[in-house]
A = this chain, B = another copy of it.
Amino acid sequence: MAVYTHVSAEMMARFLNDYDTGELISFKGIAEGVENSNFLVETRGGADGHRFILTLYEKRVDPADLPFFMALLDHLAMRGCRVPRAIADRTGVQIKQLAGRRACLIEFLEGISLSTPNPAQATAAGEALAEMHIAVADFDGSRPNSMGLASWHDLASRCAGQWQKIDPALEQLVSGELAYLQAQWPTDLPQSVIHADLFPDNVLMLGDTVSGLIDFYFSCTDARAYDLAVTHSAWCFSSDGASFDPGLSAALLRGYRDRLVLTPDEQAALPVLARGAALRFTLSRAYDWINTPADAMVTRKDPMAFARRALFYADPANAGLFA
């Protein structure tokens, strides 16, 4: 968690001259996410709000994808979903340039990201995810899932020979799961734009109410039920993946299903989708682990936390989980 790009208060004040946001009165770099540089911005006297997040897009976000993300957020907000919209400058432009990077000034939303959500909060997150899936039904943007099944093979081959830096059991787990998923991955499920990364980090809450879904930078077109599987893998385990919480699981699934009925095919596919979700985060974390110096200030996330989830989902004893 860090700010990668330096922006001075003077640069920020000049940047704001393009907007109807008034005078800059506070500006702090915030340690949020590992992908981008973010700043909390406060202004006074403007017509277009007074608190914002400025995001500078670092190398992991493809600038060509930004119009899709911004159009998606505008669409969701227009349909009543609580998501942060990009503010347009006086000429209507949302995607700007600052300090050599693409930059967007984004609505600030109240709410806190939980580390250990309770069942009521899991239900609220499930509802919010389903509402997002309903709201995108008439959104006409699309983006391939750059973190889908094909990318898992690629990530695995880029980790080849280095699994023992993490855990000697990982190589066999990954190759076994990849083979299974390659054979079993469903391809005819209902698709839509999905969030694809709805960890508790990315859900702002006030009490048991969702006040915002954030960080749509993995959003893409893929199976709707895969989004639910990703969310399940992110919400229903202890952070080290060693312990599954059936209460959170039931609460999350209930919230989603209360808003959006799963088709029989979706229902049947959930176990394999969940194995895929667990493998996806195992692999992206493994790749980052191998390629991040141990003494870097960025906290490396433990790939084994998701390898344990993959093992859990693959265990026939847990087959009834999504019933």
Q: Identify the A interface with B (CB < 8 A).
A: 1-3, 6, 8-10, 12-13, 23-32, 40, 42, 110-116, 206-207, 293, 295-299
Q: Inside 8 A of A6's CB, which chain B residues have their CB? A: 299
**A80 CB to nearest B CB, Å:** 21
A113 close to B2 (CB less than 8 A):
no
A206 close to B30 (CB less than 8 A):
no
B112 close to A9 (CB less than 8 A):
yes
Q: Which of B24, B25, B296 contacts A297 (CB 8 A)?
A: B296
Q: Inside 8 A of A13's CB, which chain B residues have their CB? A: 112
Q: Which of B1, B110, B113, B295 contacts A3 (CB 8 A)?
A: B1
**A159 CB to nearest B CB, Å:** 21
Residue of B nearest to A26 (CB): B110
B295 close to A24 (CB less than 8 A):
no
**A292 CB to nearest B CB, Å:** 10
Residue of B nearest to A44 (CB): B110
Cα–Cα, bound, A25→B204 (Å): 9
Residue of B nearest to A200 (CB): B9
Cα–Cα, bound, A31→B29 (Å): 5
Q: Which 4 A-B pairs have the closest CB atoms?
A: A297-B297, A29-B31, A9-B112, A8-B115
A28 close to B10 (CB less than 8 A):
no
Q: Inside 8 A of A114's CB, which chain B residues have their CB? A: 8-10
B112 close to A24 (CB less than 8 A):
yes
Q: Inside 8 A of A26's CB, which chain B residues have their CB? A: 110-112
